[in-house]
Amino acid sequence: MTDLFSPVKLGSIAMSNRMVMAPLTRNRSNMEGVPQPINVTYYEQRASAGLIITEATPISAMGHGYPLLPGIYTDAQVAGWKKITDAVHAKGGKIVIQLWHVGRISHPSLLNGAQPVAPSGIKPAGKAFTYTGLVDYVEPRALDATELPGIVADYVHATKCALAAGFDGVEIHSANGYLLDQFLRDGTNKRTDSYGGSIENRARLLMEVTKAVVAVAGSDKVGVRLSPVNPFNDMKDSNPQALFNDVTEQLNQFNLAYLHVVEGGIHGGGVADPFDFDAMRKLCKSPYMANLSYDKARGNAAIASGHADAVAYGVPFIANPDLVERFRQDAPLNEADSKSFYGGTEKGYIDYPFLNA
Return phi, psi of residue 278, to 5°: -65, -40
Cα separation of the two ends of the chain: 31
Report CA Rg, the chain.
Answer: 19
Q: How far is it, in rounded angstroms, from Cα 261 to Cα 282?
A: 13
Amino acid (1-letter code) at residue 35:
P
Q: Interhelix angle for 204-217 vs 240-251, to 10°?
A: 30
Q: Which helix (DSSP H) or strand (DSSP E) does residue 157 occupy? A: helix 148-164
Q: How far is it, in rounded angstroms, from Cα 91 to Cα 50?
A: 12
Q: How far is it, in rounded angstroms, from Cα 351 to Cα 348?
A: 6
Written in H, E and C, the secondary structure of 292-329 is: CCCCHHHHHHHHHHCCCCEEEECHHHHHCCCHHHHHHH
Residue 338: count of CB within 10 angstroms of its CB: 11
Active-site residue (options: 42, 66, 178, 258): 178
Known active-site residue 258: no
β partners of residue 20:
51, 312
> Sign of dihedral through CA atoms 245, 246, 247, 250?
positive
Positions annotated as catalytic residues are: 178
